[in-house]
Chains A and B, each alone.
Chain A
């Protein structure tokens, strides 16, 4: 065999290394691939209710205000605001030199179009109800608007920071006036441009070359892969098929820890886990039964077995990181007391209930534990797993509340406005019964309604605090749900990936995603 000369050998080696190096770099540095636990439900944030979809939508869409990693309010498409004393008028300054990816300018008119769309209760969008307090929006000049409210609303700026309050291109709103078109043609000001959604397989985006924030984004493409099975998500990460996994099941942290190419990112969460109790069912109308269910649960065991002991157990109807949180006397695990309460309520032989759960790994594990714990108090549980779209449909498409078929539903709620109002009002007020908002328990206590409404009517922190304290106390006593707790948010990433994390409300951020090799280059 002829051996090539040394010079030729060197050249060949150089070519080989260059190819390998650039090849590896282009694969690693320019495409971000994420595995997530389910598919998105659509791409119009105004008509979305789930955090996973909001997160994916944030590739394209931005809001006036948003939250940082500590759930602190920060400006995004707005640069600042002023409110009047009784919280009925908000003047907002808008960022200059921002364009939608279809070329339309982002200005006061565009912001007004979007706020009008959100506030118009006749639109039939899932998040209209959240903005019903807006009376109208005025254009003050090209980059300044004034939002005028019907009544005082202390949590307005937090509500504008909710992931549904995004700015959609007015041109796109005109072009795709049918909601079915708009939900698959998102056009916003965000760091990425939508390229396609293969239902159940992937959602993909490319870099927006005209993005307003200088130097970002630093990845050329982002693709999301719905992967419901948590071990499969991690397997894909370990095989290098994806760069990040959201969320990571606590049981799998060990699997990541053993791999030197991967890392676990760990953040406190405001997501409250709970079990909806259908308060309209004859047996569950009785507060003694609902309290019995709360006494039957050992929350510490739940946190340890399902969430690797990372997080906190519930001590109020909302997470302790939410402003105005107030700790309540705990429902200590006491199966004996639970049995006694059931006996008092007329169920000496216990009772049989069904519980709807999502069919993901962590819910299935939690459901087995819950079944076991309730059984110790004499409650026989039939667990019904279903995929999240079916479950949401079956819960929300019920016109007669008495026709709802569930007794219990394993759920989580994270107040994405970072405020007590959105932590309590959608779940516990009478006006929030599904499908209007998210009170799946059909819980109703006029005193709670008054307290929550009272807190909204004031911008004074002390007054709001007192009302929320009262609301939490009443809700805790009435036990309209089985309170569980707030497990930490866990994600797993390739070791060289930075800028991808979960916010306390469980939405995830990736607009500042970059691979560490980028830093070396720059």
Chain B
């Protein structure tokens, strides 16, 4: 093992975080994605204030009407305002994405750390179980979990969380294997640090950049999976303004020529997933020292 010590320059005197922030702010795509995400979060948080109508309220005189001044995105098959439903839907989609991936990440990190650090039969057990979960396509696994637990938003979150676990477990294990014998870990160990300290204070922080990148990207795909589950009727009740639900109930109308009922919720899903993916890319670019 070799190590090089460079003379400190003016630029490298700043903290790693400051350096990352500078790189991130120079990254145009990252900035644009962050702004849109911020906008989405604001819409989600302030939906009750911003939404022009109650998302459950029908205007019986305007069943599936095209976009008008009164209903900017038109109304659906029961005369409900699509814009308001999309705004409330943002809450659900962001919550599902964040909650499910957070759960999956926590589970994955713990299992990955244990597998990588302890090795042996525990490693085999965890990694082979992950392989079994990997063998299922993500959507199929989520369908199986929801079929077992029953439909509903919380079960969708759990389903997406479960299929996120092995991804993070594998990622963290790989990093742990490399870091386990690095000099600074050996140094800590030699002064008597416990395994828990080594795992969670020394190794875990070093794995976080990759975890953060993956975390961001997974949110996009879990929003998509959740919308998919709703679309096939395994999500929340049909009247809940979840974007996948909105798409599912608009299929018939779309065929009858009412494009707005599916285009707007579809765009909402597209934009949100795209934003998370772009953000994930940008984080990878700016966090990964090799990509510099």
Contact = CB atoms under 8 A, between A and B. Distances in A.
Contacts of B77: 251, 305, 365
A258 interface: yes
Interface string A346-387: 000000000000010100110111011001000000110100
Contact of A369 (B78, B253, B255): B78
A369 to B, nearest CB: 6
A253 B258 CA distance: 13
Most buried by B among A235, A249, A369, A383: A369
B86 to A, nearest CB: 17
B257 A383 contact: no
B191 interface: no
Given A252-B256, A359-B233, A364-B249, 15 more contacts: A230-B252, A251-B252, A251-B253, A252-B255, A255-B255, A258-B257, A304-B60, A305-B58, A305-B77, A361-B251, A364-B238, A368-B238, A369-B58, A372-B56, A372-B239
Nearest to A382: B237
19 contacts: A229-B251, A231-B251, A231-B254, A231-B255, A234-B255, A251-B77, A251-B252, A255-B252, A255-B257, A301-B60, A305-B63, A361-B252, A365-B78, A365-B238, A368-B239, A369-B58, A372-B56, A383-B239, A385-B233
B79 interface: yes
Contacts of A6: none
A230 B254 CA distance: 12
Nearest to B255: A255
A385 B252 contact: no
A254 interface: yes
Interface residues of B, number: 19
A253 B254 CA distance: 12
A425 B289 CA distance: 79
Interface string A149-189: 00000000000000000000000000000000000000000
Contact of B237 (A305, A359, A369, A383): A383
A199 B58 CA distance: 40
A372 B58 contact: yes
Interface string B237-274: 11100000000010111111100000000000000000
Given A365-B78, A372-B56, A372-B78, A385 B255 contact: no
| 4 A-B pairs with the lowest CB-CB distances in the bound complex, closest first | A254-B256, A368-B239, A231-B251, A255-B256
Interface of A: 229-231, 234-235, 249, 251-255, 258, 301, 304-305, 359, 361, 364-365, 367-369, 371-372, 375, 382-383, 385
Nearest to A257: B256
Nearest to A363: B238
A234 B252 CA distance: 9
A368 B60 contact: no
A251 B256 contact: yes
A252 B251 CA distance: 10
Contacts of A368: 78, 238-239, 249
Nearest to A385: B233
Chain A binding surface, main DSSP class:
helix
Contacts of B63: 304-305
A252 B238 contact: no
A234 B254 CA distance: 12
A249 B252 contact: yes
A211 B150 CA distance: 49
Contacts of A235: 255
Contact of B252 (A231, A258, A301, A305): A231
A357 B233 CA distance: 13
Nearest to B258: A254
A333 B56 CA distance: 19
A249 B63 CA distance: 16
A348 B24 CA distance: 58
A368 B85 CA distance: 14
A44 B230 CA distance: 37
A364 B60 CA distance: 18
Contacts of B257: 254-255, 258
A41 B77 CA distance: 31
B233 A371 contact: no
A382 B151 CA distance: 12
A302 to B, nearest CB: 11
A251 B63 CA distance: 11
B89 to A, nearest CB: 15
A304 B58 CA distance: 13
Contacts of A359: 233
Most buried by B among A231, A304, A371, A375: A231
Nearest to B238: A364
A252 B60 contact: no
Nearest to B57: A372
Interface in B8-28: none
Given A364-B238, A371-B239, A305 B253 contact: no
A301 B60 CA distance: 7
Contact of A383 (B56, B238, B249): B238
A230 B255 CA distance: 11
Contacts of B78: 305, 365, 368-369, 372
Nearest to B239: A368
Nearest to B251: A231
B244 to A, nearest CB: 13
A305 B233 CA distance: 21
B79 A305 contact: yes
A372 B63 CA distance: 15
B163 to A, nearest CB: 24
Contacts of A304: 60, 63
Most buried by A among B78, B249, B254: B78
Contacts of B254: 231
B255 to A, nearest CB: 4
A385 B238 contact: yes
Contacts of B56: 372, 375
Given A252-B255, A369-B78, A305 B238 contact: no
Contacts of B251: 229, 231, 361
Contacts of A258: 257
Contacts of A365: 77-78, 238, 249
A382 B236 CA distance: 11
Contacts of B249: 364-365, 368
Contacts of A251: 77, 252-253, 256
A464 B94 CA distance: 63
A305 B60 contact: yes
Contacts of A375: 56
